[in-house]
Amino acid sequence: MAGARLEKLGTIFSRATGLIRSGAMKEEDIPMWYNIYKHFPPENEPYFARKPKPREIVQILYLEDVIRAKFFKKYGSPGLIDLNNPRSTLLSERFVTKYQELEKSGNFLEDQLFKATEEALSLEGISFDIKQPQIKKATAQTRIEDIMAESSERILESAKSTLAEEFQAARDKQKSNKQNVDSET
């Protein structure tokens, strides 16, 4: 074997080098990146056990994210979204856009802006009839429990009828056996 197959024991470059040296990889099968990597190796060899350099992770949070979070907290998720239709815009996106427009106008205080956005979109004919996700989950959970109860009742009924039929068949068999024994004697 030209080298280990476990990626923790070597880099892809060292494994490719081993395959080339052993003759398992022909010269015409050498990958395009191999010669580039050979002539311009990276500063730090990329291998599994190398500790990453400590870096400060920057939190990326936009104002739109905060607005969207408030919107979803109050109105919940819209459910399925059709990404194939470029003309359809999400209600949350329209809300954020209107919120930013009203914010730029400067006519509203921060705490009044959310309510003003709701009213402005209502005047445009947009309805906020999205139910809370907790209600949907509770309804879905109740529906699942109902379906399971109905199916278990059906199974029990079919089992009862099957057992009743089997008992009846066993009784009939016993009677016929008894009649056969009586007739023989």
pLDDT: which is higher, 28 or 85? 28
Q: Which pTM does this prediction carry?
A: 0.43
pLDDT band at 2 (very low <50, low <70, confident <90, very high): low
Q: Report the alpha-carbon distance of residue 14 to residue 6 in Å, rounded.
A: 12
Question: Which segments of 137-179 are extended strands (E)?
Answer: none
Each domain of the chain, given as residue ranges in start order, spans 1-55, 76-123, 149-185
Q: Report the alpha-carbon distance of residue 74 to residue 71 in Å, rounded.
A: 5
- Provide the pLDDT for residue 161: 62
Q: Are 81 and 90 in contact (CB under 8 A)?
A: yes
Which of 119, 126, 122, 114 minimizes the C-alpha distance to 90?
126
pLDDT: which is higher, 185 or 37? 37
- Provide the pLDDT for residue 25: 92
Whether 119 shows a pLDDT value over 60: the answer reads yes
Please tell me the least confidently modeled range out of 57-66, 74-83, 117-126, 176-185. Answer: 176-185
> Which residue matches tokens 């009828």?
161
Which of 26, 2, 32 minimizes the C-alpha distance to 14?
2
